[in-house]
Amino acid sequence: MQVNGEGKTPLDKKTIGCLFRTKTRGRPFGSGAGIGILGGLIGLGGAEFRLPLLIGVFHFAALEAVILNKAMSLVVVAFALLFRARTVSLTILMAHWPVIVNLLAGSLLGAWLGAGWATQLTSRMLYRIIAVLLVAIALVLLLGHNPDPGPARLTDIDQALLGILAGFVIGLVASLLGVAGGELLIPTLMLLFGADIKPAGSLSLAISLPTMLTGLGRYSRDKSFAVLGRNSGFLWVMAFGSLVGAFLGGQLLGFVPETVLLPLPAAILLISAWKVWRQGR
């Protein structure tokens, strides 16, 4: 490496990027807590907001950010399921086992294929897909996050086939974004299967766990999976921050006006989508 006239080694773009990442990665707990609060306010884990942060603030490559996001989501969902066990018991969940099996039949396949697809895409294309999916999630938040529960619209074979198809799409999206998929699972459980909001939240978590494990299993075949080992401390600190933030977000729920409860996160997702899209350039 050449040295300039003052005896100092010039920094290329790659070196500057490494120094910047080292500095920003010192704030994973606060970032995780902020994401957790936002997710807790709207009843989600916050992975949708974490992914743009991993890309735009902490400067992970698209695929590495997705894998990190998936691992953190797994930690958050596992603890969330335990926390909800006092309200929605395992007995209640097992009473809905046909619904769980129905959606898993599609989501496991979707998660495996989605993760395999993500490892084959160019970084630019993956950035673009992430941006489009973030826009779609924003629309879901605005239009379908709190659908009115009611009786299942379909029965028997038609319902089962639609459940498999819905599960496949949800597993695909969850793998590509590294999220649990609750923002899609909960409306599906309520509209397609007529589940009430409380069991729907826990059923969503129960379906998400094996779906995320399947996606991570497929990602483990790619060299980018090593990002988990290189950033294990970062992962656990940010995941813990997300858990703390989710708890605080739930406590703050009564103080936030309903008029901004969903539009604000949706607006954040749209801005994030634009930034991720530009990142792909």
Q: How far apart are the first and last CA of the chain?
A: 29
Q: Decide if 103 contacts 166 (C-beta within 8 A).
A: yes
Q: Decide if 29 contacts 238 (C-beta within 8 A).
A: yes
Measure the CA dihedral 125/48/73/84, to 10°. Answer: -150
pTM for the predicted model, two decimal places: 0.81
Amino acid identity of residue 185, one-letter, is L
Per-residue pLDDT of the chain (281 residues; tens, 9 = 90+): 344 444 444 444 444 344 334 434 448 898 888 888 887 776 677 888 899 989 988 989 999 999 999 999 998 888 887 777 776 677 878 888 999 999 999 999 999 999 999 999 998 899 999 999 999 988 887 776 555 555 555 667 888 999 999 999 999 999 999 988 888 888 888 888 888 777 887 888 889 999 999 999 999 999 999 999 999 999 999 999 988 888 887 777 667 776 767 787 888 889 889 989 887 66
Distance CA 190, CA 210 (A): 20
